[in-house]
Amino acid sequence: MSQSLDRALVILRELGEGPRTLDDLAAKLDVHKSTVLRLLRTLEKHRFVQREGARHHRLGTALFDLSFRALEERDVRRAVEPHLRELNARTGHTVHLASYEAGEVIYIDKYDSRHQVRMYSRIGKQAALHCTAVGKILVGALPEPERRAIARSIPYPKLTVNTITDADAYLAELEQVRQCGYAVDRREHEDFIHCIGAPVRGPRGEVLAAMSLSVPEMLLDFEGLLGLLPELLGAARAASADCGWRPDAQGNT
């Protein structure tokens, strides 16, 4: 490692403990202040360091941006998988993980029910935006203009008697999801299956994916499924924590 790079990394680590003066950093590196000043100017140029008052320096915004990016780019599926598997083991029912990609909701992981009745969903398959719990979670998390644009563009195929079939009803449903923090599919996508979904969040509280629990009505009625909502929400919160979410930080909820 080059000497300059090594010294710059020492400076960043030192500033990670709090603001420091030029004298503090020169003493830490055991070099002349002019050497530290040259390094600080380069780090400031790239926003890794910023001045605080007349004499002190602190970590800059570029480092925070990089740290968030590092957390966001972790493999969400890998981080959530243990929680998905545990939820499946505890309830015995089908669990899904889905993400929003280029205007589509895609299943990226699934654990099947221990019961003989199976769902048609599979990893890599597209989920309907308007009548699945995961679709409602992921579209509901988008900025309002994007939500409205999507709502106006959906053809709303009627898959069951309970399927939402117009944009106004869909937007009202999305607002309910945003307020409640979870979504339901009450036999809207498949006539004999109902489902509940919850968001998996990232460092800034953004929704990275949606986790769901699906049960055939012959095994558990809708009220019984809602009784499992605390299990789902707990699993989603634990998964979110592993993805960098901190509910007490930066106003995240």
The larger pLDDT score, comparing residue 125 to residue 160, is at 160
Task: Kindly list the structural domains of the chain, giving each domain's residue range(s) and its CATH number in brackets, ordered by start.
Answer: 3-65 (1.10.10.10), 74-242 (3.30.450.40)
Tell me which residue has tokens 């012959």. Answer: 218
| Residue 136, C-beta contacts closer than 8 angstroms, at least 6 positions apart | 129, 130, 173, 174, 177, 183, 185, 197
State the CB neighbour count (10 A cutoff) for residue 24.
17
Q: Which of 67-76, 93-102, 167-176 has the lowest mean pLDDT?
A: 67-76
Over residues 194-220, mean pLDDT: 94
Q: Is the pLDDT of residue 117 over 60?
A: yes
- Looking at residue 209, its pLDDT comes to 96
Q: Is the pLDDT of residue 122 over 90?
A: no
- Looking at residue 119, its pLDDT comes to 66
| Residue 205, C-beta contacts closer than 8 angstroms, at least 6 positions apart | 245, 247, 250, 251, 252, 253
Q: Is the pLDDT of residue 250 over 70?
A: no
- Looking at residue 246, its pLDDT comes to 83
Sheet containing strand 94-101, edge to edge, reads 126-127, 104-111, 94-101, 207-216, 193-201, 183-190
Q: Return d(Cα 79, Cα 4) in angstroms, integer.
A: 36
- Looking at residue 142, its pLDDT comes to 95
- Looking at residue 114, its pLDDT comes to 83
Grade residue 215 by pLDDT with cuts at 50, 70 and 90: very high
- Looking at residue 86, its pLDDT comes to 96
Q: Return d(Cα 101, Cα 84) in angstroms, integer.
A: 20
User: What percent of the chain has a predicted confidence (pLDDT) above 70?
Assistant: 92
Q: Is the pLDDT of residue 120 over 60?
A: yes
Q: Which of 27-31, 117-121, 192-196, 225-229 has the lowest mean pLDDT?
A: 117-121
Over residues 211-216, mean pLDDT: 95
Q: What are the phi and psi torsion angles at 147 (to 5°)?
A: -60, -45
Q: Which of 74-83, 196-205, 232-241 has the lowest mean pLDDT?
A: 74-83
Q: Is the pLDDT of residue 165 over 60?
A: yes
- The CA–CA distances, whole Å, from 91 to 45, 131, 194, 195, 224 equal 53, 23, 15, 13, 12
Residue 94 sits at the vertex; the CA angle it makes with 90 and 96, to the nearest 5 degrees, is: 105
Over residues 119-136, mean pLDDT: 87
- Looking at residue 189, its pLDDT comes to 92
In this structure, are residues 207 and 141 in contact, taking their beta carbons and an 8 Å threshold? yes
pLDDT tens, position by position, 130-162: 999 999 999 999 999 999 999 999 999 999 999
Please choose, from the candidates 105, 95, 72, the residue with its C-alpha nearest in 3D space to the C-alpha of residue 202.
72
For residue 103, the one-letter residue type is G
pLDDT tens, position by position, 25-84: 999 989 998 999 999 999 999 999 999 888 899 998 888 777 666 655 558 888 999 999
- Looking at residue 62, its pLDDT comes to 85
